[in-house]
Chain A
Amino acid sequence: MTIKLMQGNEAIAQGAIAAGCRFYAGYPITPSTEVAEVMSRELPKVGGKFIQMEDEIASMAAIIGGRVGGLKSMTATSGPGFSLMQENLGYAAMAEIPCVIVNVQRLGPSTGQPTAASQGDVMQARWGTHGDHPIIALSPISVAQSFDLTVKAFNLSEKYRTPVILLTDEIIGHMREPIELPDFNSVEKFEQVVTESPETYKPYSNNGDVPPMAAFGRGYRYHITGLFHDEVGFPTQRLDEVEPWLERVNGKFERNADDILLYETDYQPGARTAVLSYGASARTARHAVKQMRARGEKVNLFTALTIWPFPETAVEALADSVERIIVPEMNLGQLALEVERMAGRRKVVRVNRANGEMVTPDMIIAAAEA
């Protein structure tokens, strides 16, 4: 156990190494570059590999290739790079290749404001690639949580054979906080194990939620494709092969929701107002709730750590217990759309700021008083 002062971005890199990440491919982009810098320095020390690719499209492709070769893999980027990664991110979802994509959000659209924070990529994280697909996105609110959720991101990606997006932002990424680093050997890691023989192995078996994944070069010669495929991986257009696959892949998170949906609740009996937030805005939300409570008001606080899939049941229960939910976000209202979907007749009050500045506690308090 070591106590250190570090940035969120550094904590992500340390978390990745602790989780067993042994391959990083990336392209420099503000405000995510520290992740690449730390990975380039630390990976060789643990026998891992780092490469700076020619662009973000290649970076995303390379980490998928690296994982197919058997190394847990990660990339990190920000808005414009995240846009470029979308096609191959969809490939990872389609071909069920575990990998972790860090998006340190900056103000967009386009080049936007590279050094300013934002939460503008929430919907892109869910629907950025074309076609219906399953995705997991986690959003840390502190440096310590940047480490923990990176480890969690790797474990979920391996366990459910899916790309996992760590959706952080410039504030959490560049903020320095003390963090207790655990002994990396003691960190729990999920490892893919294939017990079937090559003769009977089905890389995309629809029997169960997640078939084990065999790495290339270990006797399991099979086909991986971004086309619709059958249970052994070959392209198919047969509905009797496509439909069980669609059902399995798009339902695998729902059937394991308890394992995937992470959130923190701080509820007060009798509260009629709730504040729901995530990422950097959750820090403002905490501060605002503290101030309101100091004035004797009863307020519920909900912090979503898993953004996608959206914690529907928990938010629905929250909505049932209060009259209104305030949703502060550093965008023009993205996760608020999900909250509204679950809130029924309860009022959802959006508190938005999309100019690179943080939502302030006063804005939340004013919304609660309105």
Chain B
Amino acid sequence: MVDHILEAHHLTKQEAQIPPEDWFEANETLQKLRKHKKFPTIWCSGCGLGVVMGALIRAIDHLGLDNDQVALVAGIGCTARMPVYMDFNTLHTTHGRALAFATGLKIARPDMKVIAIMGDGDALAIGGNHFIHAARRNIGITALVVNNSIYGMTGGQYSPTTPVGMRATTAPYGNVEPPFPICDLAMAAGASYVARSTAFHALELDKYLSEAIANDGFSLVEAVSYCHTTYGRINKLGTAADMMRALKDTSIPKASYDKLSPEEQQANTKIVRGVLQRKNRPEYTQIYNLLVEQQTQREEIRPRNTGRR
């Protein structure tokens, strides 16, 4: 057991030896899970989603947020099943629409922390329009996009983030479509916090998710993961452990990337991990609430005549 990992989990060496069925009682962070209700998860064993869920739980715990003040909103897909396992206000919606539901919820409850959890297909194909508009408004929602480059739940069809040339059940001769760079899209659309890490770098994810949730405006965290069951098998990428290891080998920290020469940066094919954008932009519900305050005050001075102009 590596000490700093135990520390990040708030676990002692002794606690780490506790059999899994007793973890919930043994650990405060894990109290944020719905213990007896829906475990085990629907995810394949070896999936990166469990790691990402762990990072999210720790990030919320780290911020000291009350469970009642957090809402998790998800669409449809493997990733979107995440909220069912966590003890917050959880809204499992329709495919692609998590951010649209989350927008209504955030407007109704600006005081709550609203986190939208999506996969790459959910967020960027069917939900692409909501994604760019939520970023444009800079509404106070944290979008967690777990990118595994494939539609996993339906059995491995190519997604808007499948790299060119890679195979999928609907791209049997290799994908001919160029992928979306998720973070670039969010940055261009106006997100005030954008960061990327991978399912291998769990502690980095903790940190970025904490910062994202603490940010007032629209935040995007891309968690690069993998699907060994569909994408890995069809592309002969090995086991879950192989794919997890590949996340380590094929990514570099932003600090290292920044030190590369322009030519080297141009040639870089590795995943750049780090905080990619911080922008100080006004948050949507705060601006709208100012407008509401002005109008209600004006109405108090000038007695209301329904509909009279």
Contacts and interface: CB of A to CB of B under 8 A. Distances in A.
Interface string A219-234: 1011111110000001
Contacts of B37: 234
B109 A184 contact: no
A64 interface: yes
A127 interface: no
B51 to A, nearest CB: 22
Contact of A61 (B93, B109, B112): B93
Nearest to A227: B92
B100 interface: yes
Tell which of A184, A216, A234 has the most Cβ of chain B within 10 Å: A216
A61 B101 contact: yes
Interface string B35-47: 0011000000000
Interface string A284-320: 0000000000000000000000000000000000000
B250 interface: no
Interface in B91-135: 91-94, 97, 100-109, 111-112, 129-130, 133
B14 interface: no
A128 interface: no
Given A47-B296, A224-B90, A226-B94, A62 B103 contact: yes
A53 interface: yes
B295 A53 contact: no
B67 interface: yes
Contacts of B288: 49, 51
Nearest to A99: B104
Which applies to chain A's interface (DSSP): helix, strand, loop or mixed?
A: mixed
Interface stretch (A67-75, A100-108, A135-143, A161-169): A67-75
A116 to B, nearest CB: 27
Interface in B186-227: none
B109 A216 contact: yes
A223 B304 CA distance: 40
Contact of B307 (A14, A49, A91, A218): A14
A226 B80 CA distance: 12
Interface string A1-14: 01010100010001
Contact of A55 (B106, B129, B307): B129
Contacts of B298: 45
Contacts of A47: 292, 296
Nearest to A90: B94
A224 B105 CA distance: 13
Tell which of B88, B91, B129, B305 has the most Cβ of chain A within 10 Å: B91
A197 to B, nearest CB: 14
Interface string B286-309: 001001101110110000111110
A88 B112 CA distance: 23
Contacts of B292: 44, 47-49
B67 A225 contact: no
A181 B299 contact: no
A271 interface: no
B214 to A, nearest CB: 18
Nearest to B76: A226
Contact of A181 (B87, B107, B306): B306
Contact of A69 (B88, B107, B307): B107
A58 interface: yes
Interface in A234-258: 234-235
A132 interface: no
B235 interface: no
Nearest to A49: B107
Contact of B109 (A10, A25, A69, A225): A69
Given A65-B73, A226-B92, A25 B84 contact: no
Contacts of B182: none
A269 interface: no
Contact of B296 (A46, A61, A234): A46
Given A14-B307, A65-B108, A181-B306, A217 B92 contact: no
Interface string A51-63: 1011101110111
Tell which of B106, B107, B299 has the most Cβ of chain A within 10 Å: B107
A333 interface: no
B68 interface: yes
Given A57-B100, A65-B102, A87-B94, A71 B108 contact: yes
A56 B239 CA distance: 43
Given A221-B87, A222-B89, A223-B83, A58 B103 contact: yes
14 contacts: A14-B307, A42-B307, A44-B292, A45-B299, A51-B288, A62-B103, A62-B107, A70-B109, A73-B108, A216-B112, A219-B68, A222-B90, A223-B91, A224-B92
Interface of B: 37-38, 67-69, 71, 73, 83-84, 87-94, 97, 100-109, 111-112, 129-130, 133, 288, 291-292, 294-296, 298-299, 304-308
Given A2-B305, A71-B107, 14 more contacts: A25-B103, A44-B296, A53-B133, A57-B97, A58-B129, A62-B104, A64-B93, A66-B105, A68-B101, A69-B112, A226-B92, A226-B94, A234-B37, A234-B84
Closest 3 A/B residue pairs (Cβ): A69-B108, A65-B104, A62-B104
